[in-house]
Amino acid sequence: MDIYVGNLPYSTTDDDLRGLFAAHGEVASARVVIDRMTGRSKGFGFVEMADRAQAQQAIDALNGYEVEGRKLRVNESQPRPPREDRGGGFRGRDRGGSRW
C-alpha cells in the first residue's frame, strides 16, 4: 500500500520517515518530496508498505501524530489525476515578431 504523509517538518529525511513507519511494519520505501528549485523538502512524502494490514495500522497510529510540533496527516495515497494539456511549447509557424 502506498501511503501519503503530509505536514512533515521540513527537516525530515527519507531515513526519518522510514524509521517512523518501521515501528509499525516492514517499509518497502520511504521518500520525502524535494523541491527541484530549492533542494528543500516540500513538507510531504510517501511510504510504501507491502503488507496492507501493517500499512493500515501505521495510518491509524500516525495520523495526527505530532512530530516537532506538527501533526502529521497520514492516509492511503490516491492516484494522481491526469494532467490537462496546459499548452506551452511551439504551436505552429507564428512566432511573433517580424519575418525579416
Give 15-27 pLDDT, tens digit per residue. 999 999 999 999 9
| pLDDT at residue 46 is higher than 90 | yes
CA dihedral 11, 15, 18, 22 (to 10 degrees): -120
Q: What pLDDT score was predicted for residue 69?
A: 96
State percent of the chain over pLDDT 90: 77
Please choose, from the candidates 11, 21, 67, the residue with its C-alpha nearest in 3D space to the C-alpha of residue 43.
11
Average the pLDDT over 31-55 and give the result: 96
pTM of the model: 0.79
pLDDT at site 78: 86
- Model confidence band, residue 88 (pLDDT cutoffs 50, 70, 90): low
2-76, CATH topology level: Alpha-Beta Plaits (3.30.70)
